[in-house]
Amino acid sequence: MAGTIKATWEPTFDLGLPRKARRGCAYDAYLPDRLADREFLLNSETSADVGDAERDVYRLNERSTALLDSEAVARLLLRAEAVASSKIEGLQIGGRRLLKAQLARETDDPQQDVTATEILNNVDAMRWAVETLTDGRDLEVADLQEVHRRLVTGTDLESHGGTVREEQNWIGGSNFNPCSAVFVPPPPDRVQDLLEDLCTFMNQDRLPAIAQAAIAHAQFETIHPFVDGNGRTGRALVHVVLRRRGLAPRVVPPISLVLATWSTDYVNGLMRTRHLGSPDAPEAIDALNDWVALFASACRRAVHDAELYEHRVAEIQAAWRERLGTIRRGSAVERVIGLLPGAPIVTVKSAAMLAGRSVQAVNDAIPRLVEARVLSPTTLGRRNRAFEAAELLDAFNALERQLASPDGDTNSSPPRRSVPARTDR
């Protein structure tokens, strides 16, 4: 039965703090229900929403012709999901800047972009999670710790990477104490047991995958087991569940791009799942159903807009082929066209690696692609020459703008968060 644990905050450091921040206080830490043995009642409307969302995610993975031909769009959508998850926590960066930072990392360029490093870590952590934690074995707490460790590598939090907290944390209110916090997660001595229960729940298959992912994410955010980076870790676990259950074996729908737009409903939905008392109480059942329904709707919206984006990518590639004229099957030109949706900014070396062709073959293909306006030259740091597919970058910016609009149209419904500027070419 969910409830609160009364605790007392005694400040241990007060040098330079205002008097109010130096005071101790009593506070309530929340202790959620365990999940592994809990019964969940989904009403008919929520069950229908979940069923619709699962069909949409399945369609995105199985019926999308461009994605069947190439993993390129799938890679870009995974990157979009990781970027959006970072934006929810306040890490802002444009797509072009991130792609250049990723290439700089791959080419050992000495330039440093701290924000880009954090977001690229999120990309790497999410990719590792969906590729590694879906091998059929049971999830363990150590797996969750490894996702977090990868997330904060090379940042100021590296020393805390993968370490389950041993102190009380809180959300909202003061930076110095939990006295005025909006929410106080469980005490540190309860965290390990709750994480073990969460892993047991994630290893089960008694709920539809969308419902399981929604509930697992809410529970992880409630436990808040790390000093920082909990949101990004928890959103990575959503895709671990969807892939482990076989619903999204190929493509990660950019759910966080929608949740970032619905941020108020997202946060309120999570808060409402933190009921007091029996999980069988009508209020607890209603809150859980509302949260799962909201999550299912976010999945459907993410799939819808991702499919529109994919169709736009197919149109762009068709226009490229028309401008290029005859393209020899299996040539470097053809292979580069196929890889660009997943890597809209490339160097000759990176394109050769992704295309599976020699550096010389790709280097010979580049002038033809530039002449046909498929690629245009750009710079990467001080030493490396790069090329970008501007039409794809514009299309991806349009996708982000679309997903930032509550109604899916920024002309009639302005974006709810920071988005790239509209580009007219």
DSSP-derived pairing of the beta strands 376-380 and 345-346? unpaired
Across the chain, mean pLDDT equals 85
State residue 76's pLDDT score.
66
Could you state, in order of their start, the residue ranges of all structural domains in the chain?
A: 3-71+106-307
Of 128, 83, 88, residue with least CA distance to 102: 83
State residue 192's pLDDT score.
98
Cα(175)–Cα(158) distance, rounded to whole angstroms?
21
Cα(251)–Cα(101) distance, rounded to whole angstroms?
24
As beta bridge partners, residue 4 has 30
Least confidently predicted of 98-107, 196-205, 287-296 = 98-107
Given a cut of 70, is residue 84 above it in pLDDT? no
- pLDDT tens readout for residues 330-344: 999 999 998 898 888
State residue 397's pLDDT score.
80
What are 192's two structure tokens? 């390990």
Confidence of residue 231 (pLDDT cuts 50, 70, 90): confident
Tell me the residue type at 278.
S
Least confidently predicted of 66-70, 237-241, 359-363 = 66-70
Confidence of residue 154 (pLDDT cuts 50, 70, 90): confident
State residue 68's pLDDT score.
40
State residue 66's pLDDT score.
46
Confidence of residue 236 (pLDDT cuts 50, 70, 90): confident
What are 56's two structure tokens? 């949409």
Q: How many residues does the structure list for the chain?
A: 425
Query: What are φ and ψ of residue 195, in 5° steps?
Result: -65, -40
- pLDDT tens readout for residues 314-328: 899 999 999 999 999
Confidence of residue 30 (pLDDT cuts 50, 70, 90): very high
State residue 54's pLDDT score.
97
Contact by Cβ (8 Å): 215, 60: no
State residue 69's pLDDT score.
41
State residue 249's pLDDT score.
87
Cα(417)–Cα(259) distance, rounded to whole angstroms?
11
Taking the CA atoms of 341, 346, 349 and 350 in sequence, report the sign of the dihedral they define: negative
State residue 74's pLDDT score.
58
Given a cut of 70, is residue 61 above it in pLDDT? yes
Ramachandran assignment for 277, one of left (phi > 0), alpha (psi -120 to 50 degrees), beta (any other): left
State residue 410's pLDDT score.
52
Rg (CA), the chain: 23
- pLDDT tens readout for residues 345-379: 898 988 998 889 999 999 999 999 999 999 999 87
- pLDDT tens readout for residues 256-313: 878 878 889 999 999 999 999 999 999 999 999 999 999 999 999 989 888 888 888 8
Cα(255)–Cα(296) distance, rounded to whole angstroms?
10
SS (H, E, C) the chain: CEEEEEEEECCCCCCCCCHHHHCCEEEEEEECCCCCCCCCCCCHHHHHHHHHHHHHHHHHHHCCHHHHHCCHHHHHHHHHHHHHHHHHCCCCCCHHHHHHHHHHHHCCCCCCCHHHHHHHHHHHHHHHHHHHCCCCCCCCHHHHHHHHHHHHCCCCCHHHCCCCCCCCCCECCCCCCCCCCCECCCCHHHHHHHHHHHHHHHCCCCCCHHHHHHHHHHHHHHHCCCCCCHHHHHHHHHHHHHHHCCCCCCCCCCHHHHHHHCHHHHHHHHHHCCCCECCCCHHHHHHHHHHHHHHHHHHHHHHHHHHHHHHHHHHHHHHHHHHHCCCCCCCHHHHHHHHHHHCCEECHHHHHHHHCCCHHHHHHHHHHHHHCCCCEEEEECCCEEEEECHHHHHHHHHHHHHHCCCCCCCCCCCCCCCCCCCCCC
Tell me the residue type at 351.
A
- CATH superfamily to which 3-71+106-307 belongs: Fido-like domain (1.10.3290.10)
> Looking up tokens 């050992």, which residue turns up?
108
Q: What average pLDDT does range 44-48 have in this prediction?
A: 98
Contact by Cβ (8 Å): 117, 154: yes
As beta bridge partners, residue 380 has 384
Q: What average pLDDT does range 189-196 have in this prediction?
A: 98
Given a cut of 60, is residue 191 above it in pLDDT? yes
Predicted TM-score (pTM) of this structure: 0.84
